[in-house]
Amino acid sequence: MLTRVEGLRAHESVARDEPVRAMRCGDGEVRAEGGDSERERLRERSGRGPPGRRETTPLRSSVAASAATGTATRSPRDGARDFSVRPYRPGDEAGILALFARAFGSHGVRSRRLWEWEYRRCPEGRQIVLAVAADGEVLAHYATVPVRLHVAGSVVLAGHVVDSMGQPRRRGGLGGRGPFLAVARRYFETFGTAALAHCGFGFTTPPIHRFGARHLHYSAVVPELPALFCNLFAGAPPALHVPATVALREVERFDPAVDRLWARCAPEMPLTIVRDRRYLDWRYADIPVPYRRFEVWRGERLDALFVLRAGWCGAPIVALTELLARRDDLQALECALATALHLAGELGMTRVETWLPERHPFFARARALGFRSERTNLTLTARLYRTPEALDWHRENWFYTIGDSDIF
């Protein structure tokens, strides 16, 4: 959930004693305004159930139907303004990419290829709301990438909030009169409803989470999300090995057996993104980002998979961005970490990092294997549409990885 409300002065921030920060991660870029950048933070560390309701309408069809109902009218609360608020239309891409460049500067320039992958090729459709001036300039943008979420045995739609931003000259402050809050509110009226989705979620920095909690009903699911890491510059890395009992295969796309692996893992994961072949190929094979995909086989059965990203966030970091295995398959975890450490050494990188929930057995096992943990400045944030009273259940059961974020 990477949000930029451009031009906010420190005294306008939700936290008045802290400068406004915003993070943009894409095309390998991470940036924080008004303070140290997330990229610098990573470089320093690298040595320089609720009862889910099963969907009865095809998920993508429901997204398209909702988008079709959007209108380009002004909200009465915003008074007479010189822009309209409406859903995305084909042809808006140039204006959206121009807004990326204005809002995030040189570090946030979004390539057309990455935009096409994220919004045109997403298997579940797209959810984008814009504020557009009379001359066609895009002034604000609030978007989610729809994903299928496995919730207590049911498959429901959720919106991964990404790429939210406002044009600096037209922000209108925090009082509800500016384009950014106008598009955010229209988004929730159009897409963020219990009839269409279970929740919206994303990964926010502290000021953006506070802003969302005050104005957009965001709730913290995992505050100060923990990272597991090994700094290779700090000494000899753990002596981990790929066990001889498994066959490790690097692949361009995932084997169809991934769907059977997901079916075995899903009952142990009450709340997570559906990690089937359709999703995993889109997320890690179709994307124009150099991920490396691995499968762990025992005989004729695919028992685990993982994905690595070298040079994560533009820093000398190998990130373990995805890991799918049964909870008791600690050997699969060791296989993934050993491969990540080997790749880091081979490429001259100085840190291996991954994200796993602290309650999951893999977290304690990674610590036992020599990895350390630290708190990040990111919060897994959600707005629950159907079961807002079940926030504690979501906090206890949400399984996530780095790949669930849009930090590419």
Provide mean pLDDT across the span 258-285.
98
Q: Which of 2-16, 40-54, 60-74, 242-256 has the lowest mean pLDDT?
A: 2-16
Provide mean pLDDT across the span 111-121.
93
43: helix, strand or coil: helix
Q: Which of 53-57, 302-306, 337-341, 388-392 has the lowest mean pLDDT?
A: 53-57
Provide the CATH topology of domain 1-224+376-408. Answer: Aminopeptidase (3.40.630)
In angstroms, the CA 74 to CA 81 distance is: 8
The DSSP result for 162-189, as a single string, is EEEEE-GGG--TTTT-SHHHHHHHHHHH
- The dihedral built from the CA positions of residue 10, 12, 15 and 20, taken in this order, carries a sign that is negative
- pLDDT tens digits for 177-205? 689 999 999 999 999 999 999 999 999 98
Provide mean pLDDT across the span 142-150.
96
CA dihedral of 386, 387, 393, 395, whole degrees rounded to 10: 60
Asked whether 60 and 47 are in contact (CB, 8 A), the reply is no
What local confidence, expressed as pLDDT, does residue 165 receive?
87
For the entire predicted model, the pTM comes to 0.82
Cβ partners under 8 Å of residue 352, min gap 6: 229, 230, 232, 237, 317, 318, 319, 320, 337, 340, 341, 344, 371
Asked whether 407 and 313 are in contact (CB, 8 A), the reply is yes
Cβ partners under 8 Å of residue 135, min gap 6: none
Closest among 394, 399, 396 to 383, alpha carbons compared: 394
Please name the CATH architecture into which domain 226-375 falls: 3-Layer(aba) Sandwich (3.40)
Which 8-state DSSP code applies to residue 73?
A: B
Closest among 69, 187, 186, 83 to 138, alpha carbons compared: 83
What are the Cα distances from residue 245, in Å, to 214, 230, 242, 251?
52, 25, 9, 19
What local confidence, expressed as pLDDT, does residue 14 receive?
25
Provide mean pLDDT across the span 361-383.
97
Please state the domain extents for the chain: 1-224+376-408, 226-375
pLDDT category at 79 given cuts 50, 70, 90 is: very low
What are the Cα distances from residue 392, in Å, to 58, 145, 332?
29, 24, 29
Pairing of strands 291-298, 271-273: unpaired
What local confidence, expressed as pLDDT, does residue 48 receive?
52
Q: Is 1-224+376-408's fold the same as 226-375's?
A: yes
What local confidence, expressed as pLDDT, does residue 173 receive?
43
